[in-house]
Amino acid sequence: MSSSQASNSKAPTTRTRTPRPAPAEPATPFLPDLCSSQSVFLLVLVAELLAVLLTISASSGLQHFNWDKLALISVQVQWIVVFSAVALCRLRFWLGRQNHVRAGVVSYALVLAITLVLCVAGQWIIYGASGMAFVGDQEFSFDGWLLLNNMVIAAILSGILLRYLYLQQQLRNQQQAEMQARIQALQSRIRPHFLFNSMNSIASLIATDPDTAERVVEDLSELFRASLAEPTLIPLGRELELCKHYLDIEQLRLGRRLQLDWQISSCNPAIKIPSLMMQPLVENAIFHGIEPLPKGGKITVKVSQNDKQLSIVITNPYLLVKKNNHQSDASARHNRMALDNIRRRLTAHFGTAARLSSSAENGVFTTYIFCPLTL
């Protein structure tokens, strides 16, 4: 080949995409989140009940109940509980990366160390504030028996409480692992017929339009990367992007038979929804709605949000088949399985705060999804 011929030959342009970094795997926490508002409230309540119990024990019954002593004990117990909760909260993920024996020993020793420091500081502040830091010419010495008494009580109660918190968090970790496995099993996968159709489209475009063939390969790789990823919540903007990748591929195959109407209002693209939630619904709309119709039809995707929830509405026409002088939906049975799948995934992520429903009227199938606003 001559140099002039080589210069005139056009090489297909390439599109480079920066690979998306894989998200780092979070460590499994060893203890519950003790810094949440609900946990702090419960810890303060339990600490105050413990202070009342210790005051009753030290006062030899309710008939000799001492309110001043309750105030002193309450302040000391509350400080020990709050400082211990903050320290354990900061270390919960580091403790989760250690073996359970080491994490338990560190947690237990940390609570006892905080108790020792605050008890010593409490005695010093109480006697110093009352002018009793020095007795005569001798410096005040700490009450060792009182300190030992406090440490024994802290050792017993903290051991019981840490054991309870550990078991509670392990149960929660197990439930989350089971939920993730259930979502993984429920997560929709791209159907084989779509893969075969995409490969046929790529094969037919390689010789005539290599640029478009390359674009289809990139769109297909994006879809399969998302399909094989771990099930999680992803931004709304990312999910819409995946839907557009899928529809770009199907548009090449169906041509004018497939019409699209995107009605995206001013939604926050960072709102989190389950990955591959919309794409299977759009795929069903094409497979059960557009393909059986000789003239095709239009798919409408409407996304909006208000102060409380995100709304997604997908509509498509479907083929009405006359049977015994009645019109029936030929795709309703197939659609029901996919809708049940996505409904279970929504429940696994959001509980009763999300819902999915559908309707089929006058040859138009409509799917409604309502999700809470999660960022």
Range of lowest pLDDT (96-110, 210-224, 238-252, 319-333): 319-333
Q: Quick check: 230 pLDDT over 70? A: no
pLDDT digits 0-9 by tens, 135-188: 444 455 667 787 888 888 889 988 898 898 888 888 887 777 666 666 555 554
Task: Output the pTM of the full model.
Answer: 0.54
Report residue 321's pLDDT band, with 50, 70 and 90 as the boundaries.
low
Q: Which residues contact 35 (CB under 8 A, 6 or more apart)?
A: 85, 86, 89
Q: What integer pLDDT is reported at residue 242 of this predicted model?
A: 85
Q: Which residues contact 38 (CB under 8 A, 6 or more apart)?
A: none
Report residue 313's pLDDT band, with 50, 70 and 90 as the boundaries.
very high
Q: Which amino acid is at 238?
A: R
Q: Is 172 left (phi over 0), alpha (psi -120 to 50) or beta?
A: alpha
For the residues of 232-261, what is the DSSP string, one character each?
-EEEHHHHHHHHHHHHHHHHHHHGGGEEEE
Q: Quick check: 124 pLDDT over 90? A: no
Q: Is 272 left (phi over 0), alpha (psi -120 to 50) or beta?
A: beta
pLDDT digits 0-9 by tens, 53-106: 888 887 777 777 888 888 888 888 889 999 999 999 888 888 888 888 898 899
Give the integer Cα–Cα distance in Å for 251 and 272: 27
- Return phi, psi of residue 359, to 5°: -150, 150
Q: What integer pLDDT is reported at residue 65 of this predicted model?
A: 81
Of 25, 62, 39, 5, whose CA–CA distance to 230 is shortest? Answer: 25
